[in-house]
Copies of this chain bind each other. A is one copy, B any other.
Amino acid sequence: MKNDAITAMDVDFAKWFTDVCMKAELVSYTSVKGCMVIRPYGYAIWENITRILDGMFKATGHENVCMPMFIPESLLQKEKDHVNGFAPEVAWVTHGGSEKLEERLCVRPTSETLFCDHYKNIIESYRDLPKLYNQWVSVVRWEKTTRPFLRSREFLWQEGHTIHETAAEAEAETRKMLDVYAEFAEKTLAIPVIKGKKTESDKFAGAVSTYAIEALMHDGKALQAGTSHYFGDGFAKAFDIKFTGRDNKLAYPHQTSWGVSTRLMGGIIMTHGDDNGLVLPPAVAPIQVVIIPIQQQKEGVLPKAQEIADKLGAAGVRVKVDDSNNSPGWKFAEYEMKGVPVRIEIGPRDLAENKCVVALRTGGKNPESLDGIEETVKTALDAVYTALLQKALKNRENRTHTAKTLDDINNALEGGDGLFLAAWCGEEACEDGVTEKTGVRSRCIPFDKELSIGDVCVCCGKEAKHMVYWAKAY
């Protein structure tokens, strides 16, 4: 079981990742440095992601809008922490046609400033609150080193931006959307995630607090898969957004923002992929079932393959019959590379027996009756989902270590990268110290882990304030 077209994961995980991106036809390089072309197969996965997530946003009361892609420099500069965080990595438009602009514009790296500019125009009273907005757009950050899906100068994402009457309501929104992300990652993408709070040094520029979902990839490195920020009234003050409250007094509203991006595509690849290529969670697979006719020139084979496809299609399954002239072996390898969750093989002998072979991308194949094939396939798709989630959980379990000392971390790292649960005193010097001495970085302060009495900082040995997950990260 190894596709020779791609580097083995154990040999070079980074090269394996790029090979999968290219051979599964997810992306292509372009003449535009640091950017990527998302090809039809990759984009179809992203379309499934956006459709499902967008439904979850709408079910939680959010509406889509579209802001401009440009931010005038003066607007970007209104919130001091925010501009300091983003100005070093934005692309600047200085000319329109042959004329120099009076004020240069940056291509949005994120749109808090644009939403604030809009909120100031449309919010007067508590009756205008909350606004629960989202947009699906691309943003630009001028990264030096880039990799498909993981770090590119332009990437696709959604950014939710909400504004509320009270701090409590905004904080609840921040946490609610983190829960939506976690549910989506686990239930739809079969990627288990840890929910937690970012440390001060790792917060979004301008946020009071940043929450994240963190996933562990197959190689033991962590991937921040989504973030949700609580802003308090900092942006409102910087942009002078006020509303008349129920007490008839002017007050500043409280804001949030939250986002996931095409990084999720990287997360899918690195959580589920194997040496045969991509493995897709059924919910977002463009092709959930591929039907491969065996000896397709024999009478009745192709019509039966199409009959099965029609049945599955009518049952809501995304299905494809590959009746091209390539050999069955070539087709098997091709759809394994593309991560199609379920393969059906149907040949002359199966016809006679009213059967077909159902193979799971996660392993195992069995002859199955053609009667009730819809149910059989749905069970198979569920089995792929469960196998993916279990494998990811197992990988995380195997790679998670509790550490009392830096030596514990370094010793464990000799067996491979992973997640380290270790207490921390809360000082930035110690946070940096851990990274310097071990290579792992703080990922988040998890919601579901408590400090025990007597826990001390893994770095300085003083009293601990937080339990923290540490890992190398993408």
Contacts and interface: CB of A to CB of B under 8 A. Distances in A.
Interface of A: 28-32, 35-40, 43-44, 46-47, 63-72, 75, 87-98, 105, 107, 114, 117-118, 121-122, 133, 137-138, 140, 142, 153-154, 156
Given A64-B43, A64-B47, A117-B31, A142 B37 contact: no
A102 to B, nearest CB: 9
Given A89-B97, A94-B95, A28 B68 contact: no
A65 B68 CA distance: 22
Contacts of A44: 63-64
A63 B37 CA distance: 14
Contacts of A87: 97
A96 B32 CA distance: 13
Contact of A32 (B43, B71, B91, B97): B71
B65 A39 contact: yes
18 contacts: A28-B118, A30-B68, A30-B114, A30-B117, A32-B114, A37-B66, A37-B67, A37-B114, A37-B118, A40-B63, A43-B65, A43-B66, A69-B138, A88-B97, A88-B98, A96-B153, A97-B142, A107-B107
Contacts of A28: 118, 121-122
Work out how many copies of this chain go into the complex: 2
A69 B154 contact: yes
A32 B70 contact: yes
A66 B94 CA distance: 25
Contacts of A75: 31-32
Contact of A38 (B39, B46, B65, B98): B65
Contacts of A68: 30, 32, 35-37, 154
A246 to B, nearest CB: 15
Contact of A92 (B36, B95, B114, B117): B95
Given A31-B117, A32-B72, A98-B88, A40 B67 contact: no
Contacts of A65: 37-40, 43
A44 B142 CA distance: 32
Q: What are the nearest 10 A-B pairs in CB distance?
A: A96-B142, A35-B68, A40-B63, A92-B95, A38-B66, A32-B68, A94-B94, A91-B93, A88-B97, A97-B142
A129 B35 CA distance: 25
A47 to B, nearest CB: 7
Contacts of A40: 63-65, 133
B93 A107 contact: yes
Given A31-B117, A66-B138, A96-B142, 12 more contacts: A30-B68, A32-B71, A35-B70, A43-B64, A69-B138, A69-B140, A87-B97, A90-B96, A91-B95, A92-B95, A94-B94, A137-B138
A44 B54 CA distance: 13
Given A90-B97, A92-B93, A97-B89, A66 B156 contact: yes
A96 B31 CA distance: 17
Contacts of A140: 69
A107 B138 CA distance: 13
Nearest to A120: B31
A76 to B, nearest CB: 11
B30 A118 contact: yes
Contacts of A121: 28-29
A87 to B, nearest CB: 8
Nearest to A143: B96
Contacts of A105: 32, 91
Nearest to A101: B91
A388 B119 CA distance: 35
Contacts of A88: 97-98
A41 to B, nearest CB: 9
Contacts of A93: 91-94, 107
A97 B90 CA distance: 5
Contacts of A31: 72, 75, 117
